[in-house]
Amino acid sequence: MSQLSYRPKPGEIPTNPGVYRFRDADGRVLYVGKAKNLRARLSNYFAPLRSLHERTRRMVTTAASVEWTVVASDVDSLQLEYMWIKEFDPPFNVRYRDDKSYPFMAITLADEAPRVIVTRNRRIPGAKYFGPYPKVWAVHDTIDLMIKVFPIRTCSDASYKKAMQTGRPCFPGQIGRCGGPCSGRVTIEEHRAIVDDFIAFMSGGDQRFTKALTQRMREASAAMDYEAAAVYRDKLQSIDAVLNRSALVLAEDTDADLFGIAEDELAATVQHFVIRGGRVRGVRALTIEKELDIAGADLVDQVLQRTYGDAVAADIPRQVLVPSLPEDAADLEQWLRERRQRPVTIQVAQRGRKAELMRTASLNAQQALMLHKTRRTSDYVARAQALTDLQDALGLAEAPLRIECFDVSHLGGTNVVASMVVFEDGLARKDQYRSFSIPETTDDTDSIYQVLTRRLAYVDRAEEPDEPADPLAAAVADGDVVTTRKRPRFAYRPQLLVVDGGKPQVEAAARALADAGHEEIALCGIAKRLEEVWLPGEDFPVILPRTSEALYLLQRLRDEAHRFAITHQRKRRRRDIGSVLSEVPGLGDARIKALLRHFGSVTALKNAAPEEIAELPGIGPKLALAIHDHLTTR
């Protein structure tokens, strides 16, 4: 299909700002987006199909119609886009998933005598929230310290009601852990004032209370009221303990939200640091599943909409710090300003403490992304589900307990190597990884055919002699060559072979299986970026659900094979150039390392003029000429 039948005529699409929706034949909304210029934005979707990213192509070919709504301003389009995404939950918009339900500290302001509680419920009417906190115990510890300074109610509603009716304090009040009106120490009005101070302190006003308590302690000490001075001292120690749990990272008057983001083709992770009074008061992790090709500043745009779409004014800070500025940053600022009723700025953290904190958040996001990618295959139930899903998707007779994945790597057509990684029961078996040298090849498909032919030659053998029959295959454990083998190589028959690539690579692998007489071994390929699964003899790929355990397993196999091939190729290039250069008189290890760092390969060094080589420190014109002559006359 070269053109979509439902494509509107260019003149029919307005140039105003607005929000558009793609629908399928059943009327279901597939994707919602906004644009400053609807005609310019929609024309991108109706470009020739071959030029579209695969995931975008899949969306527009699944759709049967497109519609749009013109709005008065770009800010209105932000709000309408968010409302429609919430209402329709379109499958091709990014999906957000909290890694877990985080605990919050909440003050129930709607109660007659507000109490402080630990909760994961963000829908308590009239409640004021602080956090989120990474652990429940962190909230409890903070509350234990805070009620020593601000003795507010902690008892349940039932205990409070019974205590007020009987005149006998609740049990926490009897042991000094509840300072509510039921204890008889304060009135409802006095308790409300203490609650206000509690909220002011947690909102960043800690300096005011620290100075006031310090002054009172000094006054009591001067009046020789040492008992009162000790009480103030203990309260100051409690405040210091709370503050030390969150180190000062920015200026004391800084109220900001900082977002660190890490992403790959399919997913992104967000670390949201809540900074109030210059201190990190809460941390939230978020995982985003990407269906369309969205990255960078566009992703930041989506994250901010998601974070503040339902936020109350008190939860929107003065400053939002992001890794890259969205194209419509000014419109987002205005949108947030209208929600907060006060100015809001969106900035990139570029220098100083803010940049340091951004690096910390980004590092945590990268680690969370790595965890997200490996978590499903590290759990037994998830691994079993992945193998079952893969069996169903590929139509296999049994679950593939042993899977071997192959990838080819080269440098401009030279130094061609291939890798074989092995997963058994969903787990990597690095001791059985193999690498292959490919001296001569025409392209990647030929390389795949050669490697699989060599590997399949050993399928019927239970063991091998001590010396491998294939001198170009090396037993490798995660990049280190194994010189002595205590186990047979290629001794186990795989249930599934996976190649990194699309239809051409799969067909080449199928020819190798047919020529070796092992067509009973299942085969598939996973294409880079497109995340399509190709089967031999099929004209169309298998599209696995984005949340499929099988897709996660195939992605990990593909990524591991690619990493392993690149690692082996780099080590081999270093050995090759090192051995060649060591033959040049006057060239020692230090100078060889300098040449390796600068040129990287024999080919690049061969193509360099003597003058370029002589520019390196420690290598003069005479030695540079000797290196050039040695390489060009070999």
Q: What does the pLDDT look like over 490-506, one tens digit per residue? A: 667 889 999 988 889 99
Q: Which stretch of DSSP H or E encloses residue 394?
A: helix 380-394
176 has a pLDDT exceeding 80: no
SS in 3 state form for 252-267?
A: CCCCEEEEEEEECCCE
Q: What strand order describes the sheet that includes 345-348?
A: 95-98, 279-289, 267-276, 256-263, 319-322, 345-348
Q: Which CATH architecture has domain 582-632?
A: Orthogonal Bundle (1.10)
101 has a pLDDT exceeding 60: no
- Region(s) of the chain under CATH 3.40.1440.10: 10-93
- Which among 6-20, 52-66, 457-471 has the top mean pLDDT? 6-20
Q: Are strands 496-500 and 522-526 parallel, antiparallel or unpaired?
A: parallel
Question: Among residues 162, 165, 166, 195, which one has the least CA distance to residue 179?
Answer: 195
As a whole number, mean pLDDT of residues 602-607 equals 69
As a whole number, mean pLDDT of residues 333-342 equals 88
Give the residue ranges of DSSP H helices in 117-261.
Answer: 136-149, 157-166, 171-174, 188-202, 206-222, 226-244
Question: Among residues 370, 337, 291, which one has the least CA distance to residue 559?
Answer: 370
302 has a pLDDT exceeding 70: yes
Res 502: pLDDT: 86
Res 5: pLDDT: 82
User: pLDDT tens across 207-265, in order?
Assistant: 666 677 777 778 777 777 777 777 767 766 666 665 554 444 666 678 888 998 888 76
CA distance 426 to 381: 10
> What DSSP letter does each residue of 431-496 carry, written as one string?
GG-EEEE-SS-SSHHHHHHHHHHHHHTTTT-S---SS-S-TTEEEEETTEEPSS-SS-TT-S--SE
Mean pLDDT of the chain: 78
378 has a pLDDT exceeding 50: yes
Q: At 575, is the pLDDT very low, low, confident or very high (cuts 50, 70, 90)?
A: low
Res 406: pLDDT: 93
Res 280: pLDDT: 73
Res 250: pLDDT: 67
Res 208: pLDDT: 63
Res 498: pLDDT: 94
- Region(s) of the chain under CATH 3.30.420.340: 380-571
Give the residue ranges of DSSP H helices in 277-319.
Answer: 296-308
Please tell me whether the peptide bond between 132 and the residue prior to it is cis, using omega within 30 degrees of 0.
yes
CA distance 568 to 206: 56
Q: What is the pTM of this model?
A: 0.48
Contacts of 15 (CB under 8 A, 6+ apart): 37, 38, 39, 40
- Which of 109-123, 170-184, 367-381, 554-568 has the lowest average pLDDT? 367-381
509 has a pLDDT exceeding 90: yes
> What DSSP letter does each residue of 508-524 carry, written as one string?
HHHHHHHHHT-TTSEEE
Tokens of 45: 């979707």
- Which of 64-78, 170-184, 378-392, 496-510 has the lowest average pLDDT? 170-184
Q: 353-356, long-range: CB within 8 Å, 24+ apart, which pairs?
A: 353/249, 353/250, 354/250, 354/256, 354/258, 354/321, 356/249
- Region(s) of the chain under CATH 1.10.150.20: 582-632
CA distance 270 to 365: 6
Question: Among residues 573, 368, 404, which one has the least CA distance to residue 492?
Answer: 404
More confident residue, 140 or 34: 34
Helix then strand then coil, in percent of the chain rounded to 5, is: 45, 20, 35
Q: How many CA atoms lie within 13 A of 489 on its CB side?
A: 24
Res 482: pLDDT: 43
As a whole number, mean pLDDT of residues 300-318 equals 84
580 has a pLDDT exceeding 70: no
622 has a pLDDT exceeding 50: yes
Res 465: pLDDT: 47
As a whole number, mean pLDDT of residues 292-321 equals 83
- Please check whether residue 345 is in contact with residue 320, taking contact to mean a CB–CB distance below 8 angstroms: yes
Res 22: pLDDT: 92
Tokens of 369: 């992304």
> What DSSP letter does each residue of 221-237 carry, written as one string?
HHTT-HHHHHHHHHHHH
459 has a pLDDT exceeding 90: no
**What are the start-end ranges of the E strands in 264-389?**
267-276, 279-289, 319-322, 345-348
As a whole number, mean pLDDT of residues 627-632 equals 74
Q: Which stretch of DSSP H or E encloses residue 97?
A: strand 95-98
486 has a pLDDT exceeding 50: no
> What DSSP letter does each residue of 529-598 carry, written as one string?
TT--EE-TT-SS-B---TT-HHHHHHHHHHHHHHHHHHHHHHHHHHHHHHHHHTTSTT--HHHHHHHHHH
- Which among 13-27, 157-171, 360-374, 488-502 has the top mean pLDDT? 13-27
- Please check whether residue 624 is in contact with residue 614, taking contact to mean a CB–CB distance below 8 angstroms: yes
Res 508: pLDDT: 94
User: pLDDT tens across 532-541, in order?
Assistant: 889 998 888 8
Q: What is the CATH number of domain 10-93?
A: 3.40.1440.10
As a whole number, mean pLDDT of residues 296-324 equals 85
DSSP designation for 7? P
Res 140: pLDDT: 74
CA distance 135 to 239: 20
What is the percent of the chain with per-residue pLDDT over 70, rounded to a whole number?
A: 78
Res 111: pLDDT: 87
383 has a pLDDT exceeding 70: yes
- Which of 105-109, 151-155, 447-451, 516-520 has the lowest average pLDDT? 151-155
More confident residue, 574 or 94: 94
- Please check whether residue 419 is in contact with residue 460, taking contact to mean a CB–CB distance below 8 angstroms: no
Contacts of 185 (CB under 8 A, 6+ apart): 151, 179
- Please check whether residue 449 is in contact with residue 508, taking contact to mean a CB–CB distance below 8 angstroms: yes
**Neighbour count for residue 80 (Cβ, 10 Å):** 16
What is the percent of the chain with per-residue pLDDT over 90, rounded to a whole number?
A: 7
Q: Answer whether CATH 1.10.600 is correct for domain 256-374.
A: no
Res 577: pLDDT: 55
Q: What is the CATH number of domain 380-571?
A: 3.30.420.340
CA distance 447 to 419: 11
CA distance 344 to 337: 5
603 has a pLDDT exceeding 90: no
As a whole number, mean pLDDT of residues 282-286 equals 76
- Please check whether residue 516 is in contact with residue 451, taking contact to mean a CB–CB distance below 8 angstroms: no
